[in-house]
Amino acid sequence: MPILQAYRKLSDLALVAKAKAGDRPAMHVLVERHTPRVNRLAHQVLGAGEDARDAAQESLVKLCTRLRQFRGDAQFATWLHRLVVNTCRDLQERSRVRQTEPLPVEESPAGEDADPTRASALGDLRRELADGLARLSADQRAAVVLRDVFGLSYEEIARTASMPVGTAKCYVHRGRERLRAGLEEHLGSSPAAPGMPVGGP
């Protein structure tokens, strides 16, 4: 539809304003644009499985039903991150069963890691990192994912996860330390591979 093509060029804030006024195409484009982000965050927080899919779907429903609560005092993405994280927490509380299934491991693009030995080693590292993330507490995992996967600042993490900035820093630090320990054990105490989110500010 021509109107959808035009709306896809609009900013989040412009779409939010239209959606709040009852513009259904604007809401459609907003959900379409952020569905991959919602799915990715839910799977990073809860791991692969039905819980993550349920949390993602519930988050998208809340995006539609609670959009009027967005006041614009933070970026829309930050508000959405908070909504998804809180939905994941609520689902965990309802089920009262900690998710222990490893996080999904992203496959390398075609042509990358053509060396079978290197590809195998990197695959092992990714699986170990996924397992390490799954062993973190939900709050630590969310903080590390928001910092090292989505690139949020500590202030944004604090707003998203409804915690003090100092707590966000602590969760990221402790989460990284646990990940580093697991990777070093896996690698025989050799340095972590470049790009792995186990260090940095």
131 and 183, same domain (yes or no): yes
Give the end of a domain, one of 53, 72, 99.
Answer: 99
Tell me the torsion sign for CA atoms 138, 88, 146, 169: negative
- What tens digit of pLDDT does each residue of 64-93 get? 999 999 988 888 999 999 999 999 988 877
| Number of domains within the chain | 2
First to last CA, the chain: 45
Among 98, 117, 103, 121, which residue's Cα sits nearest to residue 49?
Answer: 103
Mean pLDDT value across residues 131-146 = 84
Does pLDDT of 112 surpass 90? no
Q: How do residues 165-196 score in pLDDT, each as one tens digit?
A: 888 899 999 999 988 888 777 666 444 444 44
Q: Which of 99, 134, 163 is the last residue of a domain?
A: 99
In this prediction the pTM is: 0.61
Q: Which residue has the higher pLDDT, 130 or 143?
A: 143
Q: Is the same domain home to 11 and 95?
A: yes
